[in-house]
């Protein structure tokens, strides 16, 4: 049964943000049977985009939620690089530009990005944070450090590169200890990261995914 909006416990605020979808042109063409069962006859390939979202606050604060797929995906950490470049994997990857390229083309200096939020550590969400200045924080979900740090190549099996957060602040969300912790529906959330968005924790089988709930205009939220 769906939860009514009145029972979601959406945080009250008189402030709103603007959310912009960033399409770098990145596309993944994948064998459907690797992601969906049972097989549907005639539906053999799964073609999906990979997006990033720019969240801007009237104060000037800017956040990026996810970073799409890096242009030079051949330089991903081995676990994902092998999938993207091995002809036997059946994967076809197209990534013509980085999120940073789109921002600069649209007169958004990278220096104005306060933080990058990774929903999780899969390659089509992590992009290339190393292209951003060290003043841009990297925000990750619970368990990231134990699962991924210190990153590739120092940790050969890591899904992300150590250069992704080298020289910048890495902030791992702790929803149980954060002073502003509460819930949105059944999800733990914190409003303490920034004024631009509430960050929610979505538990999964193998990792903790974080999402953002932003207020575009009262009472409408984008999740």
Task: Write the DSSP assignment of 42-99 as a string of letters.
Answer: T--EEEEEEEEEEEE-TTS-EEEEEE---TTGGGS-HHHHHHHH-GGG--EEE----H
- Say if residue 194's pLDDT is above 70: no
What mean pLDDT do residues 13-27 have? Answer: 86
- Say if residue 10's pLDDT is above 90: no
| Per-residue confidence (pLDDT) for residue 167, from 0 to 100 | 97
What mean pLDDT do residues 55-83 have? Answer: 93
44 vs 175: which has the higher pLDDT: 44
Q: pTM value?
A: 0.81
| Per-residue confidence (pLDDT) for residue 106, from 0 to 100 | 97
Least confident segment among 51-60, 70-79, 190-199: 190-199
Whether residue 97 contacts residue 70, with contact meaning beta carbons closer than 8 Å, is answered with: no
> Mind listing the domains of the chain with CATH numbers?
18-179 (3.60.15.10)
| Per-residue confidence (pLDDT) for residue 57, from 0 to 100 | 84
Bridge partners (DSSP) listed for residue 204? none
Phi and psi at 192, nearest 5°, equal -85, -15
Report the candidate in 107, 28, 96, 94 with the shortest Cα–Cα distance to residue 62: 107
End-to-end CA distance of the chain: 19
Alpha-carbon distance of 204 to 207, in angstroms, equals: 5
Alpha-carbon distance of 41 to 33, in angstroms, equals: 11
């Amino acid at each position: 049964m769906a939860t009514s909006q009145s029972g979601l416990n959406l945080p009250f605020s008189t402030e709103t943000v603007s959310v912009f979808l960033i399409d770098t042109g990145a596309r993944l063409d994948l064998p459907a049977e690797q992601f969906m069962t049972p097989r549907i006859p005639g539906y053999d390939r799964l073609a999906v985009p990979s997006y990033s979202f720019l969240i801007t606050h009237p104060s000037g604060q800017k956040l990026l939620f996810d970073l799409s797929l890096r242009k030079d995906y051949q330089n991903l950490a081995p676990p994902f690089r092998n999938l993207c470049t091995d002809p036997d994997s059946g994967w076809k990857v197209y990534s013509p530009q980085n999120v940073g390229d789109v921002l600069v083309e649209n007169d958004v200096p990278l220096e104005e990005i306060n933080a990058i939020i990774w929903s999780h550590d899969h390659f089509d969400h992590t992009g290339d944070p190393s292209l951003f200045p060290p003043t841009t924080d990297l925000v990750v979900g619970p368990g990231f450090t134990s699962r991924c740090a210190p990153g590739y190549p120092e940790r050969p099996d890591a899904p992300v590169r150590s250069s992704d957060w080298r020289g910048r602040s890495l902030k791992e969300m702790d929803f149980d200890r954060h002073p502003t912790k509460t819930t949105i529906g059944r999800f733990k959330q914190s409003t303490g990261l920034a004024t631009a968005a509430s960050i929610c924790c979505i538990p999964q089988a193998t990792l903790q995914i974080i999402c953002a709930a932003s207020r575009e205009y009262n009472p409408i939220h984008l999740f």
